[in-house]
Structures are given as C-alpha cells and as structure tokens.
Amino acid sequence: MEQHTNTGPEIIYDKAGNPHEVVDYNDDYTGAKLGFWFFLFTELLLFGGMFLVFSFYFYRYTDNFVEASSTLNIVLGGTNTFILLISTYFMGMSLINLKNGEISKAKLKIIITILLSIAFLTVKYFEWMAEIHHGIYPDSEILNAKESGIILYFGLYFTMTGLHGVHIIIGIALMIWILILMSGKKVTPTNYVVLENVALYWDLVHLVWVFLFPLFYIIGLGK
C-alpha cells in the first residue's frame, strides 16, 4: 500500500475548532525580534542607571572627577573607540553579505569582528595593568588615601568598563556560536534572525562605549 507523507504545515485546533498553523521557532521572526529588543531594553536600563549614578557624583565631585580623568590614557581609550567603530562596520556588513547569499564573506567579516574584539580587550588589559601597577585599583592603599571623589570615580571606572568588557566577551562567544550555526546551515540567507540579533547586540556594545569614552576620558582634557 502506498503511503503518503504530509509535508504541509502542521495544523492544530483550538477549543472552538478553529485551525491554527504551528510556526517553528526558527521561523518566528517577529517573536525573536521582540524578545531580543526586550533584552536590549533591560541592558539599556542597566547601563542607563550607571550613567545616572556617574552624573550624580560628577555633579557633587566635579573637580575630583576631572582630576582623576586626567590621569587616564586617552590615546588607549581613543584607540579602543576606533577599534569598536570598525568592528561594528564589519558586523553590519556580515549581515548584509549573508542576506545577499555571500556566506563566505559573511563568515570572514564575523571573524574580523572577533579579532577586533580581542584587540579591544588586549588594549584594555594593558591599560588596566598600567593603572594597577601605579596602585590605582579598588580598595588599594594608594587609592583609599585620595579624596572621596577620586575614589568614587575609579570605583565607577573599573565597574563600568569591567562590565562593558564582560559584554565584549559575551559578544565574542555569540559570534563564535553564529559561525558554528552558519557552518551547520542553521543560519542562512533566508533564516538570519539570529545574526541580526547578535549584530544589534554588538551595536549596543559600541553605543555604550560611545558614552563611556567621553565620561571617563574626555572630561579630564582641560586639566
């Protein structure tokens, strides 16, 4: 007896007997986008709250914040700003390449973004090590001997740049995951919402740094 396989969409019925097509989670583009936008909103609340705290204490300890900012290495900070800017370009181009069916180019640009991310973390590592070498780190004797505003400034500096660095590491892990999905043909020119969401996440990472850089580095230029 010949058997027929139903290759059409799966249909379920509600209590009223109305049919509904079952949508695979991979095809639920709108749901995936809305869920990720909600996640980005919570991230904005997190960093936005920290920016408000910084602004409050900057108003109270303006001179101390300016003095502390003048000790940071603006060249390294500016270098990292440029690195993140370029990485955002390559991440965006990878999405465009994937949509156009240029999978190899998309993978290459994601790899470039990963390398730039590692470069960012490397620069930040050397910057932190230089500060720690000079005794400037949370709860150090040298830092605790300084004025309250300077202690607060560096407490916020290490907390906020450290949290941003964690987001960079998460971004690298996500990009590696994307490469694995692309190799398994689970992210394709017609199913690209995962890459689109990771690209949005990377835009957020860059946006946060765009605010961190002037807050911590620029305010001390006039000192």
What pLDDT does residue 55 have? 94
The C-alpha torsion from 46 through 194 and 172 to 49, rounded to 10°, is: -10
Query: What are the Cα distances from residue 176, in Å, to 113, 181, 214?
Result: 10, 9, 30
Angstrom distance (rounded) from CA 92 to CA 201? 11
- Give the global pTM: 0.83
| 3-state per-residue secondary structure call for 88-114 | HHHHHHHHHHHHCCCHHHHHHHHHHHH
Angstrom distance (rounded) from CA 215 to CA 193? 33
The C-alpha torsion from 176 through 119 and 81 to 158, rounded to 10°, is: 90
Q: Domains in the chain, ordered, with CATH?
A: 43-220 (1.20.120.80)
* Residue 6 burial (C-beta neighbours within 10 Å; 0-12, 13-18, 19+): exposed
DSSP state of 24: P
Angstrom distance (rounded) from CA 197 to CA 26? 13
What pLDDT does residue 36 have? 78
What pLDDT does residue 3 have? 44
What pLDDT does residue 41 have? 87
Per-residue pLDDT in tens (0 to 9) along the chain, 223 residues: 444 444 555 666 666 777 766 554 445 666 667 777 888 888 889 999 999 999 999 999 999 999 999 999 999 999 999 999 999 999 999 999 999 999 999 999 999 999 999 999 999 999 999 999 999 998 899 999 999 999 999 999 999 999 999 999 999 999 999 999 999 999 999 888 899 999 999 999 999 999 999 999 999 886 6
What pLDDT does residue 2 have? 43
What pLDDT does residue 4 have? 44
What pLDDT does residue 14 have? 65
